[in-house]
Amino acid sequence: MSVDNDHRVHACTADSPTRCEAHTRVWRDGEMIAEGVPVVDLSEHLAVAGTYVWLDLLRPTPEDMAVLTEEFGLHPLAIEDALHDHQRAKLDHYADHDFLAAYIVKECSAGDTLLETGELAAFFTQQGLITVRKSTLMELRPLLQRWDATSQLAGSGIAYLAHGLLDHLVDGHSEAVALLGDESEELEDLLFDERAQGGGDLQRRSFALRKDLTTLRRAVVPMRQVVATMARSDGLVDEQMAPYLRDVDDHVQRAVESIDSLRDVLGTILDTNLTLASNRLNETIFRLTAYAAILAATTAITGYFGQNVPFPGSQETSGFLGSTVLLVLSVVGLVAYFKRKGWL
């Protein structure tokens, strides 16, 4: 189901408790019964047994989060983490809710880097999932489509929403790993492309890839503990959703292993590039040394025959021709010898 203006709550009206852009959905007894409900009306729905809600806030203010604290009883430390940037990916457990800090990773179309990240915070309560997007990088349409595609699991309540959110995040991580894998293969091909040797493109792309891998690893590696902890959380994941969380955990493990493999591949690429550059330098030194030896031979001959002591054929045509032939033969002989040795 698409997310359009009809489903948005720009809660700046007089009867709305928040001022940021909001999205809502309501489920009751395993069925979605409403979407785009004003935030102020969520309390009425939650008063009915068997109801749980999803509330999404885009760049909320401290005042917006204060309303949620009063409505859902969220812990002040979790609220603080949700408002501040550059949080470590984690899952914190409080008395009546869990707090998730995670990163959405997507392909970047500008600059040298291939990836860009956006922060996401989420609160898992007994009756609701509250997502706090700190940027517009995370699109809601794929997440809603994922929930709609698995609506038969909606009876599991918040565990159903948690699985859809985590699965969406981890799939984004896996796509990012695949993108960096393709880049590493291109760099391997470029490594032995003689047309690219000596240029800066390989070095620039290699260091950009290393930066992307570091960024991706910072986002993905903590998710192993997040998913494992959530799968063990009492009361959040029921027997129906447990296999689905284990599947997400498997995807996280594969993503982490792939990242570690890519780091090894990148290290090999950088080391091989340095080795090839060293070999090319050695070859250049060999050639320069061989040319210097050739010039030394010609200098010795011309210097010898340029001395004041008379030599056979001195000041005669035969002497000039003999010295010229000796000069040419020495150069040809040295060139042939150096080529045979592989120095030229």
Give me the pLDDT at residue 291, please: 78
Global confidence as pTM = 0.77
CB atoms within 10 A of CB 142: 13
Residue 318 or residue 37, greater confidence: 37
User: Would you list the domain boundaries of the chain?
Assistant: 5-276, 278-341
List pLDDT tens digits, range 121-144.
999 998 999 999 998 889 999 999
Residue 286 has pLDDT above 70, yes or no: yes
User: What are residue 135's phi and psi, to 5 degrees?
Assistant: -155, 170
Q: CATH number for the 5-276 domain, one of 3.40.50.720, 3.30.70.3340, 3.50.50.60, 3.30.460.20? A: 3.30.460.20
DSSP string, 167-188: HHHHHHHHHHHHHHHHHHHHHH
Asked if 98 and 92 touch (Cβ cutoff 8 Å), the reply is yes
Mean pLDDT of the chain: 83
Phi, psi of 101 (to 5 degrees): -120, 125
Is the pLDDT confidence value at 99 over 70?
yes
